[in-house]
Amino acid sequence: MAASAPMPHGTGFPAEGRCGYYVEKKKRFCRMVVAAGKRFCGEHAGAAEEENARKRILCPLDPKHTVYEDQLAKHLKKCNSREKPKPDFFIQDINAGLKDETEIPEKLVPISFLSEEQMENLIKKLRKASEGLNSTLKDQIMSHPALHDALNDPKNGDSATKHLKQQASILGNIEKLKLLGPRRCFVEFGAGKGKLSHWVDIALKDAEKVHFILVEKVTTRFKVDGKHRKKNSVFERLQIDIQHLCLNKIPLLSKEKLPVVGIGKHLCGVATDLALRCLVETYAASCEERNEEPLAKRVKNDKTEKEINTLAKEGNEKNIPEKWTPVAGIVIALCCHHRCDWRHYVGKEYFRALGLGAVEFHYFQRMSSWATCGMQKTSLEASNISTKRKDKQNDGSEEHDDGGYRITDDSTESLPGFLNVEEKKKIGHLCKLLIDQGRINYLQQKGFNPALQYYTDPLVSLENVLLTALPNHSSSPETTA
């Protein structure tokens, strides 16, 4: 039997408890549930004859829905699109750095618009500023037993294996610096799914008092930190931009007073500078101000260095009054120098000492993408992979799927024709090195002993530089607690 035709407007009845408004376009009644004693849903009440006296307007917070005009004030207090109260650890622009409007020109032309003479002058400045810098970094490609089974899993694809190798090497470097131990708080910046913290937790096994703070500004799917149920480790995820994060306002840190280890895998351009300032200036400096007498000084008053070393060798950890510092170490895999920003950059002082400023920095950070320009795929392949990367970003993936080459993105501009591919790559690497050297100088000025090294093979990832730093009193990894 053929189905009956839809009821015309004004005839028939809507389903029980459903809106009585007939949708002409769909040739059926609205199926929205209505409030008790009402004939029409909220969306159609204004159009219905019995509700003509009350006007519905677009919500000013989100025009995708409407609200009764006479109930607007009440609605704004409970609307899901309202601005939520900020947590105590949110302090606007606390890690942003000083903004000097006079330094940054209003508009800088793209690299492709520069004349050959202008380009040559920039490259001369770059080479002069880079004189004396060691462009060949030390190889510190390592691994860790915690990832042995995962690395040898035959079900892994190329992408999974690539990321596991990087995580294993970062973990190996953390252990080499003697940062992989109990009574620490690991803060993972740009945490994404939280996989780096996941492996650190596995490597620590049953270590006491281990906390993890995972910082990520976007909502992330398929997180792994929620799967950890160990008694001795605590995971806390903060959805906040690093630019506004004040670590000493986090109850976990202010209560436990544990030394912090800042970690990150492929922390993009500006995020690295924000994370360094967050750790070194916002957190460490404020902790030192609160302490009337530094703990390291109290250690020397209580026990001699010889006694402390003897206790350490005996493994009597509970009785060791460590030379505690707020930030025990930093281990960050660097990435995407073309996404740096002069305002947030921590190496401004270093650049100024070389006679460089905001303009040079702008072009150097753009030119840094040339470091991988010789590895570009065809335009069709790049288009396909770029689409995949966008899909991964929508899934909240923190990983950079460079697959051994860098895909040209919006930041990469037309390259000058008077340079060949190899020359461009060398210039790109110099730009990256100079920007990273500014970070090294910044950490040195703040009382740290920093270093740059290659932590993975370029066939695994072209973004293969690891930044590490220890407080000066722990300059030798062997003496670091």
Stretch 257-283: mean pLDDT, rounded? 93
Alpha carbons 228 and 159: distance in angstroms, whole number: 24
Q: Please check whether residue 349 is in contact with residue 361, taking contact to mean a CB–CB distance below 8 angstroms.
A: no
Q: Which helix (H) or strand (E) holds 451?
A: strand 448-454
CATH 1.20.140.10 fits 111-288+324-375+418-471, yes or no: no
pLDDT in tens, 318-343: 433 345 689 999 999 999 999 999 99
In this prediction, residue 443 carries a pLDDT of: 97
Asked if the model's pLDDT at residue 286 lies above 60, the reply is yes
Residue of higher predicted confidence among 250 and 257? 250
Q: Which two tokens stand for residue 305?
A: 């260095």
Confidence band (pLDDT; 50, 70, 90) for 313?
very low
Residue of higher predicted confidence among 368 and 13? 368
Residue of higher predicted confidence among 63 and 452? 452
In this prediction, residue 7 carries a pLDDT of: 47
Stretch 120-126: mean pLDDT, rounded? 94
Alpha carbons 419 and 422: distance in angstroms, whole number: 8
Range picked from 98-102, 236-240, 432-436, 472-476 for highest mean pLDDT: 432-436
pLDDT in tens, 232-249: 778 999 999 999 999 989
In this prediction, residue 234 carries a pLDDT of: 87
Predicted TM-score of the model (pTM): 0.74
Residue of higher predicted confidence among 241 and 56? 241
Stretch 132-148: mean pLDDT, rounded? 92
Confidence band (pLDDT; 50, 70, 90) for 291?
low
Alpha carbons 446 and 177: distance in angstroms, whole number: 19
Domain spans in the chain, listed from the N-terminal domain onward: 22-77, 111-288+324-375+418-471
- The conformation of residue 32, written as its DSSP 8-state character, comes to -
Confidence band (pLDDT; 50, 70, 90) for 358?
very high
Asked if the model's pLDDT at residue 218 lies above 60, the reply is yes
Residue of higher predicted confidence among 107 and 471? 471
pLDDT in tens, 57-116: 899 988 888 888 889 999 998 998 888 888 999 999 999 988 775 666 667 888 888 888
Residue of higher predicted confidence among 1 and 73? 73
In this prediction, residue 280 carries a pLDDT of: 93
| DSSP of 227-276 | G---TTEEEEEEES-GGGB-GGGSHHHHHH-PPEEEEEEEEEHHHHHHHH
Residue of higher predicted confidence among 82 and 348? 348
In this prediction, residue 104 carries a pLDDT of: 67
Q: Which range is least confidently modeled, 49-63, 175-189, 362-376?
A: 49-63
Confidence band (pLDDT; 50, 70, 90) for 393?
very low
- Which one, of 421, 424, 417, lies nearest residue 116 by Cα? 417
In this prediction, residue 474 carries a pLDDT of: 61
Q: Please check whether residue 184 is in contact with residue 258, taking contact to mean a CB–CB distance below 8 angstroms.
A: yes
Q: Which two tokens stand for residue 265?
A: 């895998």
Q: Which two tokens stand for residue 181?
A: 């131990």
Alpha carbons 282 and 427: distance in angstroms, whole number: 34
Asked if the model's pLDDT at residue 409 lies above 50, the reply is no
Q: Which helix (H) or strand (E) holds 335?
A: strand 327-335
Residue of higher predicted confidence among 47 and 67? 67
* Residue linked to tokens 């690497």: 429
